A and B are shown apart, each in its own frame.
Chain A
Amino acid sequence: LAKTTQPISMDSYEGQEVNITCSHNNIATNDYITWYQQFPSQGPRFIIQGYKTKVTNEVASLFIPADRKSSTLSLPRVSLSDTAVYYCLVGFRSHGSSNTGKLIFGQGTTLQVKP
């Protein structure tokens, strides 16, 4: 299983761009990189997913270098409502033809956006 490492916390101010980096040295060939966002008292929700290079959607961008050992979630012009915990997930284990696997969340990065 690919293990991820990300900063425990980050602070930012409204209007700034925030970049959260996740390290995943043991990423496997078939693994994708997925980021989730969790607001207080809610379950996590999907933000963005990618395999290599750059992916962009209406919420964020995801930058993945060629070696795929890390990835960076970029939130443009954050607002107070972006204050949340952000989780980086990479892959899981599958066993041959059986559809098994564990999806492991780490501690996440707590982003605090200040006015």
Chain B
Amino acid sequence: NAGVTQTPKFQVLKTGQSMTLQCAQDMNHEYMSWYRQDPGMGLRLIHYSVGAGITDQGEVPNGYNVSRSTTEDFPLRLLSAAPSQTSVYFCASSWGVRQSTDTQYFGPGTRLTVL
């Protein structure tokens, strides 16, 4: 299994541009989520999904959209990039969230810079 994969690894955008960060997992996990991590700070939840067709907002959803058309993929879209969105983005997945026992598997991250 490849686990959780993210593309691209690095990206530089200009203010106002849009782009999609890709996330895929091959573990048939129900739960997928996106976090951002700013320098010296912890992880903040952007959006999450508990299954195909179901998404919900996390702590910091503004400026981001998600969709979950398949179990495997959970792309994160930046609608109009802003310098405040410069961050490292992590995608994670787990079997589910019925119990707080589900181990989260994280991808390697995407480092995004918005100029």
Contacts and interface: CB of A to CB of B under 8 A. Distances in A.
A41 interface: yes
A98 B30 CA distance: 13
A34 interface: yes
B100 A32 contact: yes
A49 B98 contact: no
B109 A91 contact: no
Interface residues of A, number: 30
Contacts of B96: 99
A87 B4 CA distance: 20
Interface in B45-69: 45, 48, 50-51, 54, 56, 58-59
B74 interface: no
Centre residue among B54, B59, B98, B100 by max chain A CB count within 10 A: B100
Contact of B50 (A49, A91, A101, A104): A101
A32 B101 contact: yes
A44 B100 contact: no
A53 interface: no
Contacts of A98: 50
A39 to B, nearest CB: 11
B108 to A, nearest CB: 6
Contacts of B90: 43-44
A32 B100 CA distance: 6
Contact of A105 (B35, B54, B98, B103): B35
Contact of B33 (A85, A87, A103): A103
Contacts of A32: 99-101
Interface of A: 30-32, 34, 36, 41-46, 49, 85, 87, 89-92, 94, 98-108
